[in-house]
Structure 1
Amino acid sequence: MLKFNLIAAVCKNSGIGLNGDLPWCLKSEYEYFTLTTKRRRDTTKQNVVIMGRLTYFSIPVHERPLEERINVVLSSTLLPMDLPKKVLLFPNLEIAMKHLEEYNIRKQIETVWIVGGSGVYKEAMASQRCHRLYITQIKQEFKCDVFFPPIPNCFKEIDPDPETPSGIQEEHGVQYEFKILQK
């Protein structure tokens, strides 16, 4: 069974978004997201990023689809013609994963990443396919209108990957820390 990881930046009041954008501007944290979701041990394979419709359309037009990754959008309302041809569209996470498993028969996928939004995160954490959560804990509250769902108790913090910066980071007076939890 093909598994996936989840990656999110979450502030102290569990917020992850405001008005279709991030509530903070942390360049180093965004670079961590980009590097982590692109990182491959085998350069002949590709990583996949799975996101909901609102998350996809919250990405600036000039940055979507996310480069060097297979982009998958989950939506029951979009039509394939609403997205670029190289973006895969599925009605839900399980159907997307089954399609990727078939695609992975040729062993072309290294890591699948769930990148948002709130409903997709909730569905992902409940799935037996969910392996790890890569959470950036932002150490202050921000005004938000989208929130990260509660993390189930079956996830426990583990030591960071060698590529993950350890300890508290700070940018523009905002402190944050990278955490990895595993089911």
Structure 2
Amino acid sequence: MATKEVSLIAASCRNNGIGFKGTLPWRLKREMAYFTKVTSEVRDDSKRNAVIMGRKTWQAIPSKYRPLANRINVVLSKTITQKPDGCDFLFADLQQALNSMLENEHVENIFIIGGEQIYREAIANDLCRNIFLTRIDADYECDAFFPQFDENIYKQTQNTFVSADTDEENGVKYKLCLYARK
């Protein structure tokens, strides 16, 4: 039996920015399709991947895309006690969410999708195996940032989702990177 993997997935610009005023600072449709593919694809059709996000990230997803289709949507919040409409689970903290999703037989893999504080906690958690990070080679005004991580712990590698190539969309160059915990 394959073991569930816990991964982070994010896109950041040159200054590690990931968001501005509760939204993405860029519009890159192919990069967003990549996010959807990575977080949705399962080997076992009877299962789905879980996406874990903070309340602000949940609220930043345009309502027409909420919940994220074909995934188990998990929201973390210390301030709300009612599960948001469309969300599958609500937890007060990341560890509770991870424990629940790891025990859930309907979950194949787990993806942390933001925001800044949730990423910071996940990177420090020994359960986190991979960081899928799109590095956008452009400057954007941001007020949320992807945390620095130790590249001696997370080594850059490749898999079926990631190649050494740089992509370009709307005149913006970006590279799909994967860092795996040693």
**Does structure 1 residue 155 correspond to structure 2 residue 157?**
no
Per mean C-alpha deviation after superposition, the further-off stretch among 54-63 and 147-156 is 147-156
3-state SS of paired residue (1:44): coil
Write the distance in 2 (CA, Å) between the matches of 1:135 and 1:38: 16
Q: State TM-score, norm by structure 1.
A: 0.92
Indicate how the Cα distance of structure 1 residues 121 and 16 shifts in structure 2: closer, same or farther if over 3 A, else same.
same
2:33 paired with 1:31? yes
State the 1:152 CA deviation.
2.2
1:101 CA drift (Å): 2.7
Report the equivalent of 1:114.
112
Q: How many residues align?
A: 178
Counterpart AA for 1:156? K
Mean CA deviation greater in 67-76 or 147-156: 147-156
- In the TM superposition, 1:1-183 aligns within 5 A as 3-81=5-83, 83-84=84-85, 86-104=87-105, 108-153=106-151, 154-158=153-157, 160-183=158-181
1:80 match: secondary structure: coil
In 2, Cα distance between equivalents of 1:85 and 1:174? 33
Instruction: Work out whether residues 10 and 134 of structure 2, in 8 Å CA contact, stay in contact via their aligned partners in 1.
Output: yes
How far 1:141 sits from its partner (Å)?
A: 1.4
Instruction: Report if the CA contact (8 A) 2:25-2:140 is conserved.
Output: yes
Q: 1:85, CA displacement in angstroms? A: 5.7
1:163 deviation in Å? 3.3
Identical counterparts, % of pairs = 39
**In structure 2, how many angstroms separate the alpha carbons of the residues matched to 1:98 and 1:37?**
19
Using the size of structure 2 for normalisation, the TM-score is 0.93
**Is the contact between residue 17 and residue 141 of structure 2 (CA under 8 Å) also seen in structure 1?**
yes
* CA-to-aligned-CA distance 1:47-86 (integer Å, 9 cap, x gap): 00000000000000111011100000000111225x1265
Q: Which runs of 5+ in 2 are unaligned?
A: none
2:101–2:110 CA contact under 8 A, matched in 1: no
d(CA) in 2 for partners of 1:150 and 1:86?
29
- Aligned to 2:99, what secondary structure does the other structure show? helix
Q: Displacement, 1:116?
A: 0.4
Q: CA deviation at 1:2?
A: 5.2
